[in-house]
A and B are shown apart, each in its own frame.
Chain A
Amino acid sequence: MKIDILAFGIAKDIIRGQTLQVEIPDGATVGNLKAMLTERFPDFEKLRSLAIAVNTEYRPDDFMLSEKDEVVIIPPVSGG
């Protein structure tokens, strides 16, 4: 299935854009996606943390993705 991913902060610099479409197997999880992103963009490994939000909530690595999900790469936050 195809997943559209949105990026913010330093994640935009790393993927060189605000959006990215990836092809992942049906039933793939947040953990699978993180592994795929890190392999394709090794700079993610240098960050203090890497989280994935699905439909505006932080999700654990075992969370299963679906095609219509809003998937967002959340690099280390720095508000305030």
Chain B
Amino acid sequence: MIDIQLKNTALIPQECIDFTASDSVGGSVVFIGTVRNNTKGKPVVRLEFEAYEPMAISEMKKIAEQAQVRWNCEKISIHHRTGSLDIGEIAVVIAVATPHRKAAFEACEYCIDTLKETVPIWKKEIFEDGEVWVAAHP
């Protein structure tokens, strides 16, 4: 089972964890991505996330389906934020549950790595003296 959500309100990791619970699960791995207060030492004020929503959801679903097949995951939950986020706020939560732990670690890492490459979500870093779309330029 797969649970994909794109939300403009605070993410609650427990919701993802609860979704992945099941009697046949032996381990869950949860990745929580948060807003860091600096980029290469330069203070960040906040981040702004925007998404091409229908495609962001379908691409996250594809990633979860691929992980499910490859690592035999029972349940995967991916929640991602949009909108303006302050330092320390949660931008993404990924919870993966499998019968044995190793697969859960690998599948969770696959999900976040692939999400960063393919899902049409963009973040802008807001500094004291300007703003930058992250990773736009080489």
* Chain B binds chain A: yes
Closest B residue to A79 by CB, please name it. Answer: B121
Q: Is the C-beta of B117 less than 8 angstroms from some C-beta in chain A?
A: yes
Partner of A56, one of B54, B118, B137: B54
Q: How far is the CA of A54 from the CA of B9 in the complex (A)?
A: 29
Closest B residue to A8 by CB, please name it. Answer: B52
Kindly list chain A residues whose C-beta atoms are within 8 Å of the C-beta of B33. 80
Q: Is the C-beta of A78 less than 8 angstroms from some C-beta in chain B?
A: yes
Partner of B120, one of A10, A47, A74: A74
Q: Given A9-B122, A80-B116, does the pair A75, B54 have CB atoms closer than 8 Å?
A: no
Partner of B136, one of A6, A48, A53: A48
Q: How far is the CA of A3 from the CA of B136 in the complex (A)?
A: 25
A interface majority secondary structure: loop
Kindly list chain A residues whose C-beta atoms are within 8 Å of the C-beta of B110. none
Chain A: minimal CB distance from B125 (Å): 9
Kindly list chain A residues whose C-beta atoms are within 8 Å of the C-beta of B117. 77
List B1-49 residues whose CB lies under 8 Å from chain A.
33, 49
Can you pick out 19 interface pairs between chain A and chain B where the beta carbons lie within 8 Å of each other? A8-B50, A8-B52, A8-B120, A46-B137, A47-B137, A48-B136, A53-B120, A57-B55, A72-B52, A74-B52, A75-B133, A77-B120, A77-B135, A78-B136, A79-B56, A79-B92, A79-B122, A80-B112, A80-B121
